[in-house]
Amino acid sequence: MVKANYLLNYIDDAGLRNYVQRALNRGEAYHQLRRAISNVNGDQFRGSSDGEILLWNECARLVTNAIIYFNSSILSQLLTSFEYQNDNKRIQIVKQASPVAWYNINLKGTYNFEVSEKLPDLEELMRSIDGYLPVIAKRNSATGQ
């Protein structure tokens, strides 16, 4: 009965269909990012034992979630900055951007991981973005406005 009621609502309600499609698209975008990470180095990062494969999958999930977090932080700060400036054109662009996108991430680079007490400065990375006001976005996010 519940399933039949949901199906009838799904058929009748264009908003519900749109919501369901967007949710499916988000899931598919996540899986595309995971596949892109899996294909790094010709898909040779797997493993020969069940434990190594399990570890590889967990590491790939961690990298995927780190990319999503990084992108979400950038988009959030951009949105705050553009809202403060009342820049509706840029606000709409940021709202359409997906935190699951990875065009801004070089998955095939050579990386050097050093122990450092200083974390990368996201503000410094974002200064080159046209129209971004770092002080405003930082101040508003700190005060909750």
Long-range CB pairs of 84-88, under 8 A, 24+ apart, other chains included: 84/133, 84/136, 84/137, 84/140, 85/131, 85/133, 85/136, 87/131
Q: What is the pLDDT of residues 57-111, one digit of tens each?
A: 888 899 999 999 999 999 999 999 999 999 999 999 999 888 998 888 888 877 7
Q: Range of 89's domain?
A: 2-143
pTM of the model: 0.72
The continuous run of DSSP H or E covering 119 comes out as: none
Q: What is the pLDDT of residues 1-40, one digit of tens each?
A: 899 988 888 899 999 998 888 888 888 999 899 888 887 7
Domain count, the chain: 1
